[in-house]
Amino acid sequence: MEKRVIPVKTVERLVLYKRLLRDILAKGESSLYSHQLAKMANNTPAQVRRDLMMIGYAGGTPRKGYQTQELIDRIIQILDESKEQKIVLVGIGNLGRAILSYFSFQQPGFTIAAAFDSDESKTNRVIAGCRCYHLREFAEKIKETDAKLGVITVPAQHAQQVADMMIECGIKGILNFAPIPLKVPDNVFIDRIDITMALEKVAYLAG
Amino acid sequence: MEKRVIPVKTVERLVLYKRLLRDILAKGESSLYSHQLAKMANNTPAQVRRDLMMIGYAGGTPRKGYQTQELIDRIIQILDESKEQKIVLVGIGNLGRAILSYFSFQQPGFTIAAAFDSDESKTNRVIAGCRCYHLREFAEKIKETDAKLGVITVPAQHAQQVADMMIECGIKGILNFAPIPLKVPDNVFIDRIDITMALEKVAYLAG
DNA sequence: AATTACCCGTGAAACAATTCACATTGTTAT
DNA sequence: ATAACAATGTGAATTGTTTCACGGGTAATT
């Protein structure tokens, strides 16, 4: 019985659907059609229905659409947001701080449990409600917090060793903002957000 | 004679290859094999060769590999980095400021020409070398700078109207950090970086 | 109650991306 | 020289993703 039957692309859209559905619900719409969700998600009704099929949801009724709340519940159940996810962040530069602020007062379901840097001048304080430690305390703190997710916002040349350290300490999922791909074992999931690449891509494709 | 023959995925990898090749060159390696580049890019030799085929490059020699410099030049030529790209950014919050700092003292080829916000307390000053104006000056300043790319770092509920304004003013490529898809005409290219979605994805796939 | 219009669920088709596999060719070793 | 090798370039096969199209069912209308 395995779970990786849901393609990554579909997972991405499910996260989006969940947010859009919450907006819908907040507007008082207790039901909706696939074409409405598609319009908000910038895709097609067929895509929406296919995605819901992927998670084994067939609770729509032909003329009435889907029940907003029920659909949200189902997606949450699939994405398994039962527990509050603990995150650790390494690299308290501009981007690291921005992410700390970003998550401090939004994003239910996620808490950044601790942040780390190798620069003493950035540690032993609290930024956006998050305690900042020196890297040497990493192993210790990660045991205390039991975090399973890591965010890397250090310069490229240190990213791999930070990832290695995280994995060593039991981190199972990493979001890497450094502009290089990192090597991780198969049992660790890693995703990269490369802002410069995104801009170069936009520059090229806008040309 | 059109250019959109290169798939977006390939463009992304080309940007990466370019950076990796520069590192290679800096290390004094004047030539390399597809499998070496593949290892650094976390993909396969076949993928590398296929990507180079997409840009019409066939300058490799069977036993000797590719000439690093020549390959870099070819990629740069395809990505067309001849001119310095002017960018405008809207939304001087934590993330906006982080991106301003990020680009101020790195990223050759890109300059953030101006930044904007609707909050008076954030404007009329210089952050990371970038002048910050009130949104009402947007149209005027964009004409002065002749920027063609825009970055959106405002909250979700204002993102669409900011995009509309950008397009109105002649912006052709947009990088959107707000967590909702935006509607833009076909002649404008838009890409989205959704940090929360990325984290939710990592959380799910790491589970 | 029959008719109409609409929308869901899904098999099949179309399309896109990646990987395979091999002919070709330059390099090295004998 | 010649043989053995190693790497390229690419057609074909495979795998993954999106779109099409239609059967079936539900609600509103006549």
pLDDT in tens, A39-86: 999 999 999 999 999 999 999 999 999 999 999 999 999 998 888 899
- The pLDDT tens digits for A112-140 are 999 999 999 999 999 999 999 999 999 99
Q: Is the CB of A31 under 7 A from strand D?
A: no
Q: Residue B40's pLDDT is what?
A: 98
Report the chain A residue with the minimal C-alpha distance to residue B2: A207
Q: How many CB atoms lie within 10 A of CB A164?
A: 13
Return the residue of A nearest to B173 by Cα. A206
Q: What is the DSSP secondary structure assignment for residue A154, as one 8-state letter?
A: S
With tokens 């590398």, the residue in question is B48
Residue B132 to residue B122: CA distance in whole angstroms:
7
Q: What is the pLDDT of residue A1?
A: 47
Q: What is the DSSP letter of B180?
A: S
Query: Do the bridges between strand B31-32 and strand A189-192 make them parallel or antiparallel, or are there none, so unpaired?
Result: unpaired
- Look at residue B38 in the predicted model and tell me its pLDDT: 98
Q: What is the pLDDT of residues A169-187, one digit of tens each?
A: 999 999 999 999 999 999 9
CATH 1.10.10.10 fits B8-79, yes or no: yes
Which of B85, B172, B198 lies at the smallest CB-CB distance from A191? B198
Q: CA-CA distance, B205 to A4, in Å (whole number)?
A: 8
d(CA B192, CA B197): 11
By three-state DSSP, how is residue A175 classified?
strand
Which of A12, A95, A180 is facing B197, going by the closest CB pair?
A: A12
Pick the CATH number of A8-78 from 3.20.20.10, 1.10.760.10, 1.10.10.10, 3.90.1150.10: 1.10.10.10
Identify the pLDDT of residue A4.
58
The distance from CA B61 to its chain's CA centroid, rounded to whole angstroms, is 31
Name which of A24, A41, A36, A45 is nearest B181 in CA terms.
A41
Fold of A85-199: Rossmann fold (3.40.50)
Q: Which residue has the tokens 């995280």?
A: A166
Q: What angle do CA A135, B193, A30 make, to 5 degrees?
A: 115
Query: CB of residue A63 closer than 7 A to nucleic acid strand D?
Result: yes
B99/A205 Cβ within 8 A: no
* pLDDT attached to residue A143: 95
Beta-carbon-side half-sphere exposure of residue B108 (alpha carbons within 13 Å): 6
Retrieve residue B121's tokens.
């307390």
Nucleotides of C under 7 A from a protein CB: 5-11, 16-21, 24-28
Query: What is the pLDDT, as a whole number, of residue B80?
Result: 86
- How would you write the pLDDT of chain B (207 residues) with one tens digit per residue? 444 589 999 999 999 999 999 999 999 999 999 999 999 999 999 999 999 999 999 999 999 999 999 999 999 999 988 888 999 999 999 999 999 998 887 678 899 999 999 999 999 999 999 999 999 999 999 999 999 999 999 999 999 999 999 999 999 999 999 999 999 999 999 999 999 999 999 999 998
pLDDT surpassing 90 at residue A107:
no
Compare CB distances from A172 to B151, B198, B206 and report the shortest one's residue: B206
The neighbour count for residue A60, using CB atoms within 10 Å, is: 18
Asked if A194 and A179 touch (Cβ cutoff 8 Å), the reply is yes
Task: Name the closest residue (CA) to the C1' of nucleotide D16.
Answer: A7
Q: Taking the domains of chain A in order of start, what are their residue ranges?
A: 8-78, 85-199
Distance from the Cα of A136 to chain B's closest Cα (Å) equals: 25
